[in-house]
């Protein structure tokens, strides 16, 4: 069954409430891992929407994915993180550029590429837990 807009909204509301309760007791590493989880979900939804022929620009998942990438980049501690923070910043900017291109093209393959990159970094973060 294809995901309708109302199903996507209801699922998003449920996930947001679940994430909020999880975030209350989370440490910083877990909070970042939660952002990656949310980013994976948002980009996955965008890919599904594109596959179904739906326009993805100006949708909640598109805004959410962009906001998370911007937030991850903006909150890097460059003084403590040094070269790692600089490398992550470049990765986040590249992902945001690829995400914007996928959104503009409304093409499933672009979202799959972004999702692969997110999963790679998210797995490394999960190993820190």
Averaged pLDDT of the chain: 83
- Which tokens is 35 given? 């952002």
Give the structural domain span for 14: 5-128
Sign of CA dihedral 26, 30, 35, 38: negative
**What average pLDDT does this structure show over 95-102?**
95
For position 55, which CATH number holds? 1.20.120.340
- Domains identified in the chain, total number: 1
3-state secondary structure of 4: coil
- Asked if the model's pLDDT at residue 124 lies above 60, the reply is yes
**What average pLDDT does this structure show over 84-102?**
94
Q: What local confidence, expressed as pLDDT, does residue 39 receive?
A: 94
- Reported as a single tens digit per residue, the pLDDT across 48-57 is 999 999 999 8
Single pTM value for the model:
0.77
Q: What local confidence, expressed as pLDDT, does residue 40 receive?
A: 94
More confident residue, 96 or 81: 96
**Confidence category of residue 42, pLDDT binned at 50, 70, 90:** very high
**What average pLDDT does this structure show over 31-46?**
91
More confident residue, 100 or 14: 100
Distances (CA, A) of 15 to 9, 23, 104: 10, 12, 26
Q: What local confidence, expressed as pLDDT, does residue 7 receive?
A: 62
């Amino acid at each position: 069954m294809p995901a309708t807009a109302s199903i996507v909204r209801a699922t998003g509301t449920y996930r947001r409430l679940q994430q909020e309760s999880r975030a209350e007791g989370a440490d910083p590493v877990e909070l970042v891992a939660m952002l990656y989880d949310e980013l994976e979900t948002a980009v996955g939804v965008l890919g599904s929407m594109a596959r179904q022929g739906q326009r993805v620009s100006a949708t909640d998942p598109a805004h959410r994915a962009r906001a998370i990438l911007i937030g991850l980049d903006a909150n890097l501690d460059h003084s403590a993180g040094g070269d790692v923070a600089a490398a992550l910043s470049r990765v986040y900017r590249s992902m945001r550029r690829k995400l914007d291109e996928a959104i503009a093209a409304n093409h499933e393959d672009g979202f799959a590429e972004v999702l692969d990159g997110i999963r790679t970094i998210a797995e490394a973060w999960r190993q820190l837990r």
